[in-house]
């Protein structure tokens, strides 16, 4: 592909006055966007070097520009690319986001990425990246979001790589799901005081990690799905005083006795307890979380006796009660949840007749009764 880049340089030199009618498509918005205003291209000539732009657009059309026409966001996700395809990115002086999730780039590509001094958002999920490769990113002083994932097995980052992550002092978002990262790794990046979002699904952390998370003064979002955390670990969650979103889904060591401390998370807006083995007894403490906007109790043992504990959650906009033991009788407790936009009661004993009745009481609520794969 780099050879194609050189060919394009030669070709474009013969057509300096030519304009392209191709409009770049918008990339998918990330969890935390890049700073600055993005808008339509001003004029017909790209502000960045034409050769670099042509080489990039030969690989992907998913680019975003700012109001002056400079490329600020390039999305390569799930494309067939090589490390050398990233070399033209070094010519884009205002580039702030690069999305490489699901590509075959390696540590060699990170040497190029490490030269992008204005980079703020980097997605390397499911890429063939190692601990040593992360060293090339340590000078990205403006980086605010770094996303890694080892679900596919391609990424081999572990505790050893966290010493390089620790140098990224402006990080606000760190995703290290499905990686061999333990408390040792978390200890390594404890100095990231700006961190607001931490995603660590299916890592090797245990109860000790929760006390460490409390040392991030600005932490608001935490994903601990599929980890070996039990009631002892949950007991320390209230120490994370600003926590707004918490994902404990599929934590196999959590039972009713672990739910009590969650009632102390007064700032919590989003709680995911999918496939957590709790009953009505475990749901009862959650009644204190009146600020919740999102609650997932899918695949729990909630029954009609437990739904009254949800009746005071007047701010709920999303509620998943699928694969629980509720029946038509249990829906009576939900009739006062006027802000509900999405209610799921799939794979339950709830009937269509009762759904229709509730729909008249909550006309703005989408009620899903039929199970659809992936929802």
Q: Which of 64, 136, 123 is nearest to 95 (CA)?
A: 64
The predicted model scores a pTM of 0.87
How much is the pLDDT for 374? 72
Determine the average pLDDT of the residues in 266-287. Answer: 99
Is the residue at 341 inside a domain?
Answer: no
Is the residue at 311 inside a domain?
Answer: no
How much is the pLDDT for 14? 39
Alpha helices in the chain (DSSP H): 2-12, 50-57, 107-113, 162-165, 183-188, 208-213, 231-234, 280-283, 352-361
| pLDDT at residue 150 tops 60 | yes
What is the span of the domain harbouring residue 67?
A: 47-172
DSSP string for 105-129: -BHHHHHHHTT-TT--EEE-TTSB-
| pLDDT at residue 355 tops 90 | yes
Distance CA 34, CA 237 (A): 30
Determine the average pLDDT of the residues in 249-261. Answer: 99
Number of domains in the chain: 1
Is the residue at 234 inside a domain?
Answer: no
Residue 262, φ and ψ in degrees, nearest 5? -65, -25
Is the residue at 64 inside a domain?
Answer: yes
DSSP code at position 255: -
10 Å Cβ neighbour count for 373?
Answer: 4
Is the residue at 120 inside a domain?
Answer: yes
Task: Tell me the CATH number at 97.
Answer: 3.80.10.10
Structure tokens at 244: 């707004």
Is the residue at 39 inside a domain?
Answer: no
Distance CA 2, CA 128 (A): 20
Is the residue at 155 inside a domain?
Answer: yes
| pLDDT at residue 22 tops 70 | no
Is the residue at 106 inside a domain?
Answer: yes
């Amino acid at each position: 592909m780099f050879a194609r880049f050189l060919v394009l340089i030669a070709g474009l030199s013969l057509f300096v006055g030519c304009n392209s009618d191709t409009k770049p498509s918008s990339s998918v918005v990330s969890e935390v966007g890049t700073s600055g205003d993005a808008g339509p291209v001003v004029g017909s000539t790209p502000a960045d070097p034409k050769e670099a732009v042509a080489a990039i657009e030969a690989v992907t059309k998913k680019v975003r520009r700012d109001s002056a026409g400079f490329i600020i966001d390039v999305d390569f996700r799930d494309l067939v690319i090589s490390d050398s395809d990233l070399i033209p990115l070094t010519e884009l002086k205002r580039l702030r986001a690069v999305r490489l999730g699901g590509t075959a780039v390696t540590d060699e590509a990170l040497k190029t990425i490490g030269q992008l001094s204005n980079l703020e958002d980097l997605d390397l999920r499911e890429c063939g990246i190692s601990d040593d490769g992360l060293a090339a990113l340590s000078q990205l002083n403006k980086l605010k979001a770094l996303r890694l994932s080892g679900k596919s097995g391609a990424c081999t980052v572990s505790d050893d790589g966290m010493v390089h992550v620790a140098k990224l002092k402006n990080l606000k978002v760190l995703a290290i799901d499905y990686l061999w990262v333990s408390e040792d790794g978390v200890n390594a990046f404890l100095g990231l005081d700006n961190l607001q979002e931490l995603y660590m699904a299916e890592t090797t952390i245990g109860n000790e990690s929760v006390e460490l998370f409390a040392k991030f003064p600005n932490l608001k979002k935490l994903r601990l799905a599929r980890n070996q955390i039990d009631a002892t670990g949950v007991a320390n969650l209230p120490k994370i005083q600003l926590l707004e979103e918490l994902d404990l889904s599929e934590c196999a060591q959590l039972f009713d006795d672990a739910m009590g401390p969650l009632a102390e998370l007064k700032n919590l807006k989003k709680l995911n307890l999918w496939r957590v083995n709790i009953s009505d007894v475990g749901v009862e403490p959650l009644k204190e979380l009146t600020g919740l906007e999102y609650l997932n109790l899918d695949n729990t043992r909630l029954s009609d006796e437990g739904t009254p504990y949800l009746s005071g959650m007047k701010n709920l906009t999303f509620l998943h009660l699928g694969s629980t033991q509720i029946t038509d009788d249990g829906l009576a407790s939900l009739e006062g949840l006027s802000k509900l936009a999405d209610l799921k009661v799939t794979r339950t004993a709830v009937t269509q007749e009762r759904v229709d009745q509730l729909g008249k009481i909550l006309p703005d609520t989408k009620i899903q009764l039929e199970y659809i794969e992936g929802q």
